[in-house]
Amino acid sequence: MIVETKSAHFDSIALEGGGTLAPVEVAYETYGELNHARSNAILITHAFTGDAHAAGVAHDSGKPGWWDNMIGPGKAFDTDRYFVICSNVLGGCQGTTGPSSVNPATGRPYGLAFPVITIRDMVRLQKMLIDELGVGRLLCVAGGSMGGMQALEWAVSYPDAVRCVIPIATTWRHSAQQIAFNEVGRQSIMADPDWNQGEYYDTKPPARGLAVARMVGHITYMSDESMREKFGRKLREKEKFGFDFGVDFEVESYLRYRGNQFVGRFDANSYLYITKAEDYFDLTNGTGRLADAFRPVDTRFLVISFTSDWLYPSYQAQEIVRVLRRMNGDVAYCDLQSNYGHDAFLVDVAEQTELVRGFLDSTARIAVAA
Amino acid sequence: MIVETKSAHFDSIALEGGGTLAPVEVAYETYGELNHARSNAILITHAFTGDAHAAGVAHDSGKPGWWDNMIGPGKAFDTDRYFVICSNVLGGCQGTTGPSSVNPATGRPYGLAFPVITIRDMVRLQKMLIDELGVGRLLCVAGGSMGGMQALEWAVSYPDAVRCVIPIATTWRHSAQQIAFNEVGRQSIMADPDWNQGEYYDTKPPARGLAVARMVGHITYMSDESMREKFGRKLREKEKFGFDFGVDFEVESYLRYRGNQFVGRFDANSYLYITKAEDYFDLTNGTGRLADAFRPVDTRFLVISFTSDWLYPSYQAQEIVRVLRRMNGDVAYCDLQSNYGHDAFLVDVAEQTELVRGFLDSTARIAVAA
């Protein structure tokens, strides 16, 4: 399945924080075919540093999509049966308008002149794209981590436009610890002199700060156990006491590699804006009354968490499930056994596949019956 | 109890990695009186960024010691009964020789010319101090976190010189995750251009990198729950969308404050050397055979962990306890219920006090009977 990223153009989008962003480009990919009834469309929402290339092999780079193990013919999101869409989020740096895009007012990249964006804004732009593509009601919105926040926001903002949502390894609002980890990443970027108040597009990006931020991220994506299994205390080939604060342990080498690799593919200002959007996200707008947010609840939910995910711990998913059950909502929940930590939704897909396949199938049958 | 930090001088110390460091100063404090039998001395070993000022009120600064709630008349380490000693570790920056000390070969601070040091080296220097103070056999060595590593190392390196050890919230070797968190701190410091390969003593320290490193540390010292209780999602007084990547949430403000405060009291090169000593620490020297390390086991152990400590999780303490029990060692263990995470050993002292008090008392009685 060779795929190509396409682009949609919109004159403007109104933002939750007030004001308007104009114009807006959206990078997206689609897999499978929209049926005549326009009833088989599924929107996949990506995590923090993800992009529109969710499945298949990219035409230009040859790279597989980030959820290729879940999306494709015969897979969980079966492209023989469903029309699957994935778009890069607002504020991103991989084809959708973000702080590295050109500000028409100045002819130069926005930098910090880019407006505040929220998860709700990301979802609003997705709704515009869905309408543009001629899809009526989505069969499903599904995603993990920040993608799960978007799935939840869809159920709240556009309950009539989506039959079911699958929020995975996610939360209805960030805890103090989740905010704290994001803040460390932001501080690391902003501490790098090359960041230069976000004005680095003509010079060099804050590579060191961004790499450290990514290293922190990677630790939180794995579990204590998965790190032990993958690295243990394995030493690099190096005299133990040949000491230059270089790499002694495999885990150090891995983190440095992933940190530096990230610099080449992600924009530091997008890092700042998107993590703030995550931290601001609160499905209840600060009231803490989740039942009010979901009322009326017509959408079906499949909520998934993973036992070893300590960044988005299972209790956060269970808070959502408890409220939905109390409201007699149509909600299925599974806390999947995995050692992979938060990364589990990307890598540990066998059980997840069975859950998603069955849930989509039953939702599609209900949709036909309705 | 007004206390003053004293200093001991040694001509040189031989290091585990080979070579010698000369000369060596050790900052230390003592509380209470050594008895005639010289049998009531307790060594307190400090955590990563701790210092010799463990108890009482400092003569010059007026500050209480870092474990003042545990050490003093009538407290867990009862200074009416015991002679308590605490010294700053080798490689530190608070009175004991470390990378910020003057290198006699150059007349300038060591910087990266300082030799690699290990937990075993720290303990060797403590042994030299204990001998200098005329203490025969220590009644006890007790400490939390890196202080607990030193307590364990005492039982292995000098089993005849210590009757009991109390390792708290610690491990017999760092896991991949623990190494990873330390590595992020090191990378953050070394990414700061002001670090300048450790040569910053004539200019300015890598304040931004060191502050970010400390922020990461603080997250790992608290638990998800204690952060939620302390900060929740409380907002600072600030228009939500007045957006400058400034502080929105209380937790951000706290982390920035603690990060910046740390810069004034800690040396960045000490941060690098001491975290490496933690990461290298392996009581089994790489064999993984803990029973061999403890053989012969004559020392009594009181091992303490805390339920919400995810940086030094309870299973690591339990690995030690299991091996000691299999060897018929004299070991008491308690996994104390606490919400404070790793910080619990510093702040949640009620139950800890009862455990320590009883354990010291019984050890002292055994010592008298012997």
pLDDT tens column, B154-210: 999 999 999 999 999 999 999 999 999 999 999 999 999 999 999 999 999 999 999
SS3 A44: strand
B191 in A contact zone (CB under 8 Å): yes
Closest alpha carbon to A155 in A290, A280, A273, A33? A290
The Cβ-side half-sphere exposure at A58, using a 13 Å CA radius, reads: 15
Can A342 be counted among the known catalytic residues? Answer: yes
* Least CB–CB distance from A216: residue in B216, B249, B286: B216
SS3 B143: strand
Predicted confidence at residue B11, as pLDDT, reads 98
Going from the C-alpha of B110 to that of each of B93, B116, B199, B278, the distances in angstroms are 12, 12, 9, 20
- Answer yes or no: is pLDDT of A240 > 70: no
pLDDT classification of A370: cutoffs 50, 70, 90: confident
Predicted confidence at residue B238, as pLDDT, reads 52
Report CB contact under 8 Å: A177, B216.
Answer: no
- Identify the active-site residue in B87, B101, B145, B188: B145
B112: closest chain A residue by CA = A244
Give the mean pLDDT of B317-326. Answer: 97
Q: Which domains does chain B have, with CATH numbers?
A: 2-175+282-369 (3.40.50.1820), 178-276 (1.10.1740.110)
Can B342 be counted among the known catalytic residues? Answer: yes
A232: closest chain B residue by CA = B176
Report CB contact under 8 Å: B255, A17.
Answer: no
A215: closest chain B residue by CA = B184
pLDDT classification of A219: cutoffs 50, 70, 90: very high
**CB < 8 Å to A18, chain B:** 241
Predicted confidence at residue B235, as pLDDT, reads 77
Predicted confidence at residue A296, as pLDDT, reads 78
- Answer yes or no: is pLDDT of B243 > 60: no
Q: State the smallest CA–CA distance between residue A16 and chain B in angstroms.
A: 10
Predicted confidence at residue A237, as pLDDT, reads 58
Interface of A with B in 227-246 (CB under 8 A): 227-228, 230-233, 240-241, 243-245
Task: For B226-251, give the secondary structure using H, E and C.
Answer: HHHHHCCCCECCCCCCCCCCCCCEHH
- Answer yes or no: is pLDDT of A244 > 80: no
Q: State the smallest CA–CA distance between residue B28 and chain A in angstroms.
A: 28
Give the mean pLDDT of B88-97. Answer: 98
Report CB contact under 8 Å: A191, B208.
Answer: yes
- What are the structure tokens assigned to A86, written together? 């994935």
- What are the structure tokens assigned to B85, written together? 């000693």
Percent of chain A with pLDDT strictly greater than 70: 98
Predicted confidence at residue B296, as pLDDT, reads 78
Predicted confidence at residue A238, as pLDDT, reads 52
Report CB contact under 8 Å: A276, B243.
Answer: yes
**CB < 8 Å to A120, chain B:** none
Q: How far is A188 from B189, CA to CA, in rounded Å?
A: 10
- What are the structure tokens assigned to A246, written together? 């270089």
A302 in B contact zone (CB under 8 Å): no
Q: State the ipTM, two decimals.
A: 0.94
pLDDT in tens, B340-364: 999 999 998 999 999 999 999 999 9
**A/B interface, count of CB pairs below 8 Å:** 163
- Is A137 exposed, middle or buried, given 0-12, 13-18 or 19+ CB atoms closer than 10 A? middle
Closest alpha carbon to B244 in A112, A17, A150? A112
Predicted confidence at residue B233, as pLDDT, reads 85
Predicted confidence at residue B237, as pLDDT, reads 58
Interface of B with A in 106-135 (CB under 8 A): 112, 115-116
- Whose tokens are 């995750």? That residue is B177
A53 in B contact zone (CB under 8 Å): no
Q: How far is A45 from A28, CA to CA, in rounded Å?
A: 11
Predicted confidence at residue B244, as pLDDT, reads 61
- Identify the active-site residue in A145, A188, A305, A314: A145
Which of A196, A230, A245 should we substitute to test contact with B (largest number of B Cβ atoms within 10 Å)? A245
Instruction: Pinpoint the alpha helices (H) of chain B.
Output: 119-132, 146-157, 176-191, 207-221, 224-230, 250-263, 268-280, 290-294, 314-326, 344-347, 350-369
Predicted confidence at residue A1, as pLDDT, reads 87
Report CB contact under 8 Å: A222, B177.
Answer: yes
- Identify the active-site residue in A248, A342, A343, A348: A342
- Whose tokens are 């931020």? That residue is A213
**pLDDT top residue among A114 and A237:** A114
pLDDT classification of B75: cutoffs 50, 70, 90: very high
Q: How far is B233 from A39, CA to CA, in rounded Å?
A: 39
**CB < 8 Å to B221, chain A:** none
Give the mean pLDDT of B33-40. Answer: 96
Report CB contact under 8 Å: A175, B252.
Answer: no
Going from the C-alpha of A304 to that of each of A66, A147, A170, A318, the distances in angstroms are 18, 13, 8, 9
Q: How far is A122 from A135, CA to CA, in rounded Å?
A: 18
Report CB contact under 8 Å: B112, A176.
Answer: no
pLDDT in tens, B111-132: 999 999 999 999 999 999 999 9
Predicted confidence at residue A136, as pLDDT, reads 84
Can B53 be counted among the known catalytic residues? Answer: no
A207: closest chain B residue by CA = B191
Q: State the smallest CA–CA distance between residue B240 and chain A in angstroms.
A: 9
* Least CB–CB distance from A116: residue in B193, B231, B241: B241
Separation of CA A37 from chain center: 29
Q: Kindly report whether the peptide bond that precedes residue B23 is cis, defined as omega within 30 degrees of 0.
A: yes
Predicted confidence at residue A297, as pLDDT, reads 78
A188 in B contact zone (CB under 8 Å): yes
Report CB contact under 8 Å: A187, B216.
Answer: no
- Answer yes or no: is pLDDT of A242 > 60: no
Going from the C-alpha of B242 to that of each of B20, B246, B247, the distances in angstroms are 57, 9, 10
Q: How far is A89 from A296, CA to CA, in rounded Å?
A: 27
Report CB contact under 8 Å: B248, A280.
Answer: yes
* Least CB–CB distance from A181: residue in B186, B219, B282: B219
Predicted confidence at residue A243, as pLDDT, reads 53
Which of B21, B171, B216, B239 should we substitute to test contact with A (largest number of A Cβ atoms within 10 Å)? B216
* Least CB–CB distance from B180: residue in A193, A243, A251: A251
